[in-house]
Structure 1
Amino acid sequence: MHITELRLHGFKSFVDPARAPIERGLTGVVGPNGCGKSNLLEAVRWVMGATSAKSMRAADMDDVIFSGSAGRPSREHAEVTLFLADAAGRAPAPFNKEDLLEVTRRIRRGLGSTYRINGKEVRAKDVQLLFADAATGANSPALVRQGQISELIAAKPQNRRRILEDAAGIAGLHARRHEADLKLKAAETNLTRLDEVLAEIEAQAASLKKQARQAERYRGLAQTLRETEALLLHRRWTEARERQAEAQTALREAERATAQAASEASAAERAAEEKREALAPLREEEAIAAAVLRRLEGVRVGLERDLAEAVGAIERCDAEARRARDEADRLNALKQDAQTALAQL
């Protein structure tokens, strides 16, 4: 697997799209100071997954975006694409069957970086492992930057060991080992958590067993309750049937009594009709008798009036008779007095 081409757009001094083909063998970049030769090497490091802004000679990763000049405005994003050939069987899944790989890193100001391999978005770790398996990468000593020779001379044994591991092509194995260690630690953490979860589950299981026993007891009581309710409902149903039979008997008796009453009412209606027919002559007689009574009543009133007049006349006669007697008594008294006087004479 080897690099065939490097494309840049908005990366540091490469404000316009630029293309740098890399042929087999030795490819040299020649130019005056400040023309961007080091920026090409840093672009290769950056697209390989570099995470240190210091290694990019920048204070912040956003500083790799073209910041503008006197005649050109600043850019809001930068993009670097690296083309790889003869990659079949050497790239990680799902790209291990691809012969040509196109690795792209794009950064937007304030939003961070995104990686793509053959147009498919991937993680930064996937890109770093891709180049680590090829015994290279952003931090590979094969990419010598400015001042790195003096750093290698004064390097610590650990850094020299890393250089030897990169030269031996086992840096990718160490990266995978580190990733495997992280996964192992994560698995151990998960196992510890699993033990805690199992303890919680056991406690819950004990509680569930208790609840199951209670539920079983509840089912037994519920079955007994259902049986009792069924017996009670059957008893009520039996009593209702008995009351229904009694009610039907009473209904039949009531129907017979109703029929008898209807028959008696019909007979009474016929008798009343006969009475009404016999009542017509009586009403005529009553009317005649009432007329006679009214006439007699008029006669009675006249007689009572005559009687009252006669009584008044009798009372007047009695009064006159009393006055006559009184006058006769007075005259007799005068007569006696006269006789007495005559006798004395």
Structure 2
Amino acid sequence: MKLSRLRLIGFKSFVEPTEISIEPGLTGIVGPNGCGKSNLVEALRWVMGEASHKAMRAADMDDVIFAGSTSRPPRNTGEVMLFLDNSDRTAPAQFNEQDALEVSRRIEREAGSTYRVNGREVRARDVQILFADASTGARSPALVHQGRIGEIIQAKPEQRRRVLEEAAGVAGLHARRHEAELRLNAAEHNLGRLDDVIAQLAAQIDALKRQARQAVRYRAVSAALRKAEAMLGHLRWLAANAQVAEAERAKDLSVRLVAAATGAQAEAARHQALAVASLPPLREGEAKAAASLQRLNLARDALEREEARAKERIAELDLRLVQLAEAIERERRLAHDADAALARLAQEASALGAERAAAADRHGAVAARVGEAEAALAIAEQRFAEITAALADLAARRNQLERALREHSERLMRLEGQIGEVENELEALERQGGESSELPDLAAAVERARRAVAEAEAAASRAEAAQSSARQGLDAAKTPLEQAERRLQRIETETRTLAKLLDVETQKLWPPAIDLVMVEKGYEAALGAGFGDDLDHPVEPSAPIRWAGARVDPADPALPAG
């Protein structure tokens, strides 16, 4: 037998179907490291029956399946097929009928592998014996791998004998002898088991004989028992006939009693029908009275709840009116304070304008005035923010009062509708002439509801008046607020102008520190990021804002060289 072709599908790095022809003579495979040359030799060993995953350089036998890559998904199966030329008919007898043999091994992830020869499933042992007869195999010395030559040189006599036996073509005989020994041992074990089975069967035969004797006795006893049961059944039949005759007589008596009871029941049904015919008018009257009572109770409960809600809403509106009056007074005081501050700022701004002509001689005084102007500006901005917040609060309170007024008007309309319904029901009851002990209570509830409506209308009027006054206060507060905003803008403009003038004069009197610094090319951005606008300040001691040297501490670490 000779190897003719090797076909791989999904085995390790061979994801696509790959077929390699093994020509007569020498067939060489050349390629860079990692291209799969070793995988071909491992595929030959694997299809020849290799059972160790370590020999396949894998942590598990499932690892021989293609595991996927960045561009290809993993596969669930792997298969290797080896084609043999059997034209010389040297294969084992069970495979020696054809000129070509196709040996394949297919593995499925987590399901194991199967062997096939010419499409017929066989054992792994059959495949190993097939290749052992051909002086090769998964662990044959004919498959040379890295370090194999050194192993043969340093091999022990037993290992060298295995090489010579495989070269002589008798390795398959050893495999068959080992398999025959295993079969003989199994046959001896089966013979021992057969003796045990014969002994068990003998014991079972004795037990069956005893059971047969017991069955004969059981048959005789059963015949006597059936005879006795037949006699007993005849006696019971005679007694049953006597009981049937007695039951017939009792039945006749019962029929007469049932006829009498049926006549009495018919008379009672007639009386019941008369009573049922007179019952609907009574039930209708009861239902009407109960419906009227229930409707009046519901109306009373609704009026009581509306009265309670109206009182709570009136109290809430009174409290909000008081709070709104206090807020309006507070906003008026804040507006007055803002006007005073704006007037003071206007005076200070005019004073600064008068002093600006002499700014060159009085830089220090101007700087102080600028600081005071900035502080006043901050105070004005703070008061402006307070006035703005108060204005927003007034607007929110106005919206809240308007929403409460709308809700109160809607409740008043609902109360008036419910009171009208109750009055209509009372008039209907009075026309029907009905008398009820709850009518005075209902009348009192109606009167309380009317008083609540009147109080709610008065509260609504007060709320409208408070809303009008709040709107007037809001409009009055907007005017000084707008004036304060305009004055604030003028002050900010003058402050920025003074700051620019002071910066120009300061640069003329005291040059900035950046003019005294020499920086190597490439370090300008680093210097600007480290110091920022501080480089515009001078180093002169007479300048109001200047650079000054810090006290040197002997404990400070020294700077690096360079």
CA distance in 1, matches of 2:172, 2:112: 25
Q: Match for residue 197 of structure 2? A: 197
More helix by proportion, 1 or 2?
2
TM-score with structure 1 setting the length? 0.59
CA distance in 1, matches of 2:104, 2:200: 48
* 164-173 vs 198-207, greater mean Cα deviation: 198-207
Deviation at 1:218, TM superposition (A): 4.0
Q: Match for residue 140 of structure 1? A: 140
Q: Match for residue 5 of structure 1? A: 5
CA distance in 2, matches of 1:167, 1:94: 24
Deviation at 1:70, TM superposition (A): 3.0
Q: Match for residue 214 of structure 1? A: 213
Q: Match for residue 128 of structure 1? A: 128
CA distance in 1, matches of 2:88, 2:37: 31
More strand by proportion, 1 or 2?
1
CA contact (8 A) 1:87 1:101 kept: no
Residues 217-261 of structure 1: CA distance to partner in whole angstroms, max 9, x if unpaired?
949x98xx7xx99xxxxxxxxxxxxxxxxxxxxxxxxxxxxxxxx
CA contact (8 A) 1:88 1:100 kept: no
Secondary structure of the 2:95 match is coil
Say yes or no: does 1:158 pair with 2:158: yes
Deviation at 1:140, TM superposition (A): 0.7
CA contact (8 A) 2:58 2:64 kept: yes
Name the % identity.
64
* 100-109 vs 32-41, greater mean Cα deviation: 32-41
Deviation at 1:60, TM superposition (A): 1.3
Say yes or no: does 1:53 pair with 2:53: yes
CA contact (8 A) 1:83 1:102 kept: yes
CA distance in 1, matches of 2:190, 2:115: 30
Pairwise mapping of residues 91-106 of structure 1 onto structure 2 (< 5 A)? Answer: 91-106=91-106
Pairwise mapping of residues 260-271 of structure 1 onto structure 2 (< 5 A)? Answer: none
Deviation at 1:212, TM superposition (A): 8.7
CA contact (8 A) 2:86 2:96 kept: no
Q: Match for residue 78 of structure 2? A: 78
CA contact (8 A) 1:4 1:85 kept: yes
Q: Match for residue 329 of structure 1? A: none
- The structure number with the bigger radius of gyration is 1
CA distance in 2, matches of 1:184, 1:2: 33
Q: Match for residue 112 of structure 1? A: 112
Structure 2: stretches of 5+ with no match in the other structure:
225-562
CA distance in 2, matches of 1:50, 1:18: 21
Deviation at 1:83, TM superposition (A): 0.4
CA distance in 1, matches of 2:213, 2:49: 61
The AA in structure 2 aligned to 1:214 is: R
Q: Match for residue 315 of structure 2? A: none
CA distance in 2, matches of 1:11, 1:141: 23
Moved over 6 A (4+): none
CA distance in 1, matches of 2:123, 2:216: 56
Secondary structure of the 2:4 match is strand
CA distance in 2, matches of 1:95, 1:173: 17
Structure 1: stretches of 5+ with no match in the other structure:
230-345
CA distance in 1, matches of 2:62, 2:151: 26
Secondary structure of the 1:54 match is coil
The alignment of Structure 1 onto Structure 2 pairs a total of residues equal to 224
Pairwise mapping of residues 257-296 of structure 1 onto structure 2 (< 5 A)? Answer: none
CA distance in 1, matches of 2:48, 2:59: 19
Deviation at 1:150, TM superposition (A): 2.0
CA distance in 1, matches of 2:92, 2:141: 23
CA contact (8 A) 1:88 1:97 kept: no
The AA in structure 2 aligned to 1:38 is: S
The AA in structure 1 aligned to 2:70 is: A
CA distance in 2, matches of 1:90, 1:18: 28
Deviation at 1:187, TM superposition (A): 0.9
CA contact (8 A) 1:88 1:98 kept: no
Pairwise mapping of residues 153-192 of structure 1 onto structure 2 (< 5 A)? Answer: 153-192=153-192
Say yes or no: does 1:28 pair with 2:28: yes
CA distance in 2, matches of 1:88, 1:203: 59
CA distance in 2, matches of 1:159, 1:65: 32
CA contact (8 A) 2:5 2:82 kept: yes
CA distance in 2, matches of 1:204, 1:158: 54
Task: Assess, with a 3 A threshold, how the Cα gap between structure 1 residues 78 and 195 changes in structure 2: closer, same or farther.
Answer: same
Deviation at 1:34, TM superposition (A): 1.8
Task: Assess, with a 3 A threshold, how the Cα gap between structure 1 residues 110 and 203 changes in structure 2: closer, same or farther.
Answer: same
CA distance in 1, matches of 2:86, 2:94: 16
Residues 256-313 of structure 1: CA distance to partner in whole angstroms, max 9, x if unpaired?
xxxxxxxxxxxxxxxxxxxxxxxxxxxxxxxxxxxxxxxxxxxxxxxxxxxxxxxxxx
Secondary structure of the 1:27 match is coil
Residues 191-224 of structure 1: CA distance to partner in whole angstroms, max 9, x if unpaired?
111111122123233444x449838x949x98xx
CA distance in 2, matches of 1:22, 1:56: 22
Q: Match for residue 14 of structure 2? A: 14
CA distance in 1, matches of 2:158, 2:203: 50
The AA in structure 1 aligned to 2:139 is: N
CA contact (8 A) 2:5 2:83 kept: yes
CA distance in 2, matches of 1:160, 1:9: 36
